[in-house]
């Protein structure tokens, strides 16, 4: 699609962009009101995962955190508390709020974190261009937020009352921070709440930020230590008993689980666990992610380097619920605004956008016999690969995209891999 303003198509695109940017604040308000309406009138009003945190977190002080389940659980799966003890301690202040207030506080914070992630992503791809035309980029941030409120991982984060946007916002802020102490502490503490953010340390090692990596280990150790300090027996039960029991987190093969293990299990008809198909798939994804990360570091592209690591974490984790994939939001920002080979940009956007904005997960859920049934008919098995297959394709494409960008005429100067400021 031409962007040449002298061509009819390019001129029309420029005019449409100007109109949308002018209307961006209004569009964001309309989008937020629309999402609020769907939450109030639909499934999102239940926020069953938030209820787990709100109802069960106080049990961390009574020693039975892992022995109780949420009274608001669905009939086919009693919902336990699945995070480390430190996670329950972090959620405690939220439990002091009335239930309705806790719901809306989380929604507001999640919306703000989405805007924050978009703003940081745009600042990273804009480089010096952000300073040259900050007002333009801020309006783009508003417009992107209005659109991404309807991204399915974001929608389901609100619907279930999940904390994905909060954690992703903290992780992104940490990974682009210049100071090693907050950079490391942010990753270590979020990993203490929910283990998967620990994969972010790979980015620090790849970029030579050893001090940040060390601080992340220290912060994580402190979070674990605090759990033992509050209740040694309870912490021991989690770290040496429950950790690694993916079935306790949820049904491995349900359509919600978009990890490699989930997709492979649906295809092969049984939980593959850590058997050779899973090990082979993880090895392939690790190689692809390693090559993509190396290319990102060489190109000085901070944003795609961060996203490569997070996407690998989603593939590697035994369970990556579809609402964990909120990292695709900044990936779409990168695809649209970074120096990306046009045909690659087009192909990836054409593939990602229908999957992310149409509820392919609900389509599968409506057709699976139960959440515990593992085998799938061929077409459902194929659709069940939607997220991981596109993630692997993106990892394959990144090195070629960055290589082409280095050969292309230079526009704005990339931001230093050490991070960005919040200005």
pLDDT tier at 370, thresholds 50, 70, 90? confident
Residue 412 has pLDDT above 50, yes or no: no
- Are 161 and 50 contacting, i.e. CB atoms less than 8 angstroms apart? yes
Q: pLDDT at position 49, please?
A: 93
pLDDT tier at 407, thresholds 50, 70, 90? low
Q: pLDDT at position 341, please?
A: 82
Spatial separation of the C-alpha atoms in residues 401 and 108, rounded to whole Å: 36
- Are 298 and 402 contacting, i.e. CB atoms less than 8 angstroms apart? yes
Q: Map residue 300 onto helix, strand or coil.
A: coil
pLDDT tens digits for range 413-422: 444 444 444 4
Q: pLDDT at position 1, please?
A: 41
Mean pLDDT across 116-121: 96
Spatial separation of the C-alpha atoms in residues 373 and 269, rounded to whole Å: 9
Residue 390 has pLDDT above 80, yes or no: yes
Query: Phi first, then psi: what are they for 160, rounded to 5°?
Result: -85, -10
The residues, ordered by sequence, that sit 6+ positions from 139 with a Cβ below 8 Å of its Cβ are 21, 22, 24, 25
Q: pLDDT at position 10, please?
A: 54
Percent of the chain with pLDDT over 70: 91
pLDDT tier at 128, thresholds 50, 70, 90? confident
Q: pLDDT at position 74, please?
A: 84
Residue 190 has pLDDT above 60, yes or no: yes
pLDDT tens digits for range 46-71: 789 999 999 999 999 999 999 999 99
Q: pLDDT at position 332, please?
A: 97
Spatial separation of the C-alpha atoms in residues 62 and 65, rounded to whole Å: 7
| Nearest by Cα to 176 from 240, 127, 105, 227 | 127
Spatial separation of the C-alpha atoms in residues 365 and 342, rounded to whole Å: 35
Tokens of 353: 């956008």
- Are 367 and 379 contacting, i.e. CB atoms less than 8 angstroms apart? no
For the chain, how many residues are written?
423
DSSP class per residue in 61-126: GTT-TTT-B-TT--TT---B--S-HHHHHHHHHHHTS-HHHHHHHHHHHHHHHHHHHHHHHHHHHH
Q: pLDDT at position 259, please?
A: 97
Residue keyed to tokens 């409506």: 366
pLDDT tens digits for range 14-39: 778 888 888 899 999 999 999 999 88
pLDDT tier at 423, thresholds 50, 70, 90? very low
Torsion of CA 116, 122, 125, 131, to 10 degrees: -100
CA angle at 199 for the pair 297 and 140, rounded to the nearest 5°: 60
Q: pLDDT at position 11, please?
A: 64
Mean pLDDT across 386-415: 76
Mean pLDDT across 87-112: 96
pLDDT tens digits for range 230-256: 999 999 999 999 988 887 888 999 999
pLDDT tens digits for range 143-183: 999 999 999 999 999 999 999 999 999 999 999 999 999 99
Taking residue 192's Cβ as centre, other Cβ atoms within 10 Å add up to 26
pLDDT tier at 334, thresholds 50, 70, 90? very high
Percent of the chain with pLDDT over 90: 75
- Are 175 and 303 contacting, i.e. CB atoms less than 8 angstroms apart? no
User: Using CB atoms within 10 A of its CB, is residue 228 exposed (0-12), middle (13-18) or buried (19+)?
Assistant: middle
Spatial separation of the C-alpha atoms in residues 187 and 373, rounded to whole Å: 35
Mean pLDDT across 85-106: 95
Q: pLDDT at position 94, please?
A: 94
Residue 97 has pLDDT above 60, yes or no: yes
Q: pLDDT at position 228, please?
A: 97
Spatial separation of the C-alpha atoms in residues 239 and 260, rounded to whole Å: 24
pLDDT tens digits for range 271-307: 999 999 999 999 999 999 999 999 999 999 999 999 9
Q: pLDDT at position 404, please?
A: 66
């Amino acid at each position: 699609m031409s962007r040449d303003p002298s061509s009819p198509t390019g001129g029309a695109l420029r005019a449409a962009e100007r109109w949308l940017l002018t209307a961006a604040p209004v569009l964001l308000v309309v989008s937020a009101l629309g999402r609020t309406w769907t939450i109030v009138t639909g499934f999102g009003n239940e926020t069953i995962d938030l209820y787990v945190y709100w109802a069960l977190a106080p049990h961390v002080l009574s020693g039975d955190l892992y022995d109780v389940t949420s009274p608001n659980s669905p009939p086919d799966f009693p919902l336990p508390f699945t995070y480390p003890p430190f996670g329950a301690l972090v959620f405690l202040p939220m439990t002091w709020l009335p239930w309705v207030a806790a719901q809306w506080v989380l929604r507001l914070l999640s919306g703000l974190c989405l805007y924050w992630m978009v703003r940081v992503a745009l600042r990273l791809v804009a480089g010096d261009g952000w300073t040259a035309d900050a007002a333009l980029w801020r309006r783009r941030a508003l417009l992107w937020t209005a659109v991404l409120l309807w991204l399915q991982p974001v929608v389901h984060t609100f619907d279930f009352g999940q904390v994905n946007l909060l954690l992703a916002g903290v992780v992104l802020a940490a990974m682009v921070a210049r100071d090693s102490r907050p950079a490391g502490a942010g990753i270590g503490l979020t990993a203490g709440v929910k283990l998967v953010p620990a994969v972010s340390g790979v980015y620090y090692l790849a970029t030579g930020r050893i001090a940040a990596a060390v601080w992340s280990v220290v912060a994580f150790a402190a979070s674990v230590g605090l759990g033992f300090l509050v209740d040694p027996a309870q912490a021991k039960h989690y770290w040496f008993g429950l950790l690694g029991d993916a079935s306790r987190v949820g049904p491995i093969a349900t359509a919600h689980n978009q990890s490699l293990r989930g997709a492979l299990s649906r295809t092969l008809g049984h939980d593959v666990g850590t058997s050779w198909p899973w090990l082979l798939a993880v090895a392939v994804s690790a190689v692809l992610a390693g090559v993509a990360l190396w290319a990102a570091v060489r190109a000085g592209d901070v944003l795609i380097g961060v996203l490569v690591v997070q996407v690998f974490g989603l593939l590697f984790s035994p369970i990556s619920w579809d609402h964990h994939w909120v990292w695709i939001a900044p990936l779409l920002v990168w695809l649209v605004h970074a120096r990306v080979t046009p045909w690659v940009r087009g192909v990836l956007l054409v593939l990602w956008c229908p999957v992310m904005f149409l509820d392919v997960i609900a389509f599968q859920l409506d057709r699976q016999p139960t959440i515990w049934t593992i085998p799938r008919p061929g077409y459902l098995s194929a659709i069940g690969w939607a997220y991981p297959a596109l993630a692997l394709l993106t990892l394959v494409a990144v090195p070629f995209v960055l290589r082409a960008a280095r050969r292309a005429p230079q526009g704005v100067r990339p931001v230093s891999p050490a991070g960005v400021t919040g200005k």
